[in-house]
Amino acid sequence: MATANLSRKSGVIVGDDVHKLFKYAQANKFAIPAINVTSSSTVVASLEAARDKKAPIILQMSQGGAAYFAGKGVANDKQQASVAGAVAGAHYIRSVAACYEIPVILHTDHCAKKLLPWLDGMMDADEAYFKEHGEPLFSSHMIDLSEEEVDFNIQTTAKYLKRAQPMKQEIGITGGEEDGVNNEEVDNNALYTQPEDIYNIHKTLSAISPYFSIAAGFGNVHGVYKPGNVKLHPELLGKHQAYVKEQTGSKDDKPAFLVFHGGSGSSKAEYIEAISHGVVKVNLDTDLQYAYLTGIRDYVLKKKDYIMSQVGNPEGEDKPNKKYFDPRVWVREGEKTMSARVQEGLVDFNTANQL
């Protein structure tokens, strides 16, 4: 059972518990889906799915998603909306997560160089929370400096890793675009991280702390693309692990915690092979955005004649329609379809029934 060695069996977990869960995932050949959440509604959909499938889950906010949590009407010229939204979202998740009786990793995603003030603000909140509760507000953060030179990437991440643990870093470039990081026109060779880079990251960061993971590029992209346009090579991850093991003299066949970014649209076989090479986390976003839409879309199309006015529908011109246009009704339909898609991911990644 995945929670057997965890000090906290449900709710948001941090530090050693996150590390133990990742090692358990590698040993039992499953990965934990990381779900981008932007509201209490998407949080609920994700937590319900994990509870019903008896699985751990990672809930993460991107810079744009965090700003949305605060409200689109809030200025964000200094990342104030993104900081406030991330902190608010984190407190909300911490408040409700234990109700679902599953372990939850609370994470932030894709912090590019220009967004580092967002990370600084969140880490200020981490430190304040630590002073009061003995643990950081967030389980982990991710720095995405894949647009920068490798040395800058590693040294900047190392600086932040010294400040707060655990810290998560992505290395390499992922094609497509997310929150302003656009690598669609890069040479395809740049989508494949080299084993020497993975070892260099591992050597530098492991000297500081064991609490880090690496998102190595193996042709993965963000978004869903036409079949044939994306060529994934998850077998490269096995070569990365073997190289790190050889260079470090580790007895562990999977010395690095690896992350699969751009998971939407990939085949189950690609997921399984990546997981076999030590991937412990798979990002899902695009598929879930569409899944959330479908529930609301289908409801609106089905109930069209009941939501065109507050009063009057096919059952009578004086019939009230409140029970049809109440947001709790149609938003819930989006939660149901998103939750179903999260459950599908939990099955695909072998996360289901690990609790």
Q: How many helices (H) and strands (E) does the chain have?
A: 12, 13
Please return the burial class of 8, using the count of CB atoms within 10 Å of its CB with bins 0-12, 13-18 and 19+.
Answer: middle
CA distance linking residue 176 with residue 165, whole number of Å: 29
Residue identified by tokens 């094609």 is 175
Bridge-based pairing state of the strands 258-260 and 311-313: unpaired
Coil vs helix vs strand at 217? coil
Active site residue 124: no
CB neighbour burial string for 39-56, b if at least 16 within 10 angstroms, e if fewer: bebbbbbbbbbbbbbbbb
Q: With helix as H, strand as E and coil as C, how does 47-114 read? A: HHHHHHCCCCEEEEECHHHHHHHHCCCCCCCCCHHHHHHHHHHHHHHHHHHHHHCCEEEEEEEEECHH
Amino acid identity, position 62: S
Q: Where do we find the tokens 């965890």? A: 6
| Cα–Cα distance for residue pair 187/154, rounded to 1 Å | 22
Give me Rg for the CA atoms of the chain.
21
Alpha-carbon distance values, 234 to 68, 177, 183, 188, 274 (Å): 33, 21, 20, 15, 5
Q: Which residue has the tokens 């200094």?
A: 78
Q: Which of 17, 52, 77, 109 is catalytic?
A: 109
210/224 Cα distance (integer angstroms): 33
- Residues acting as catalytic residues: 109
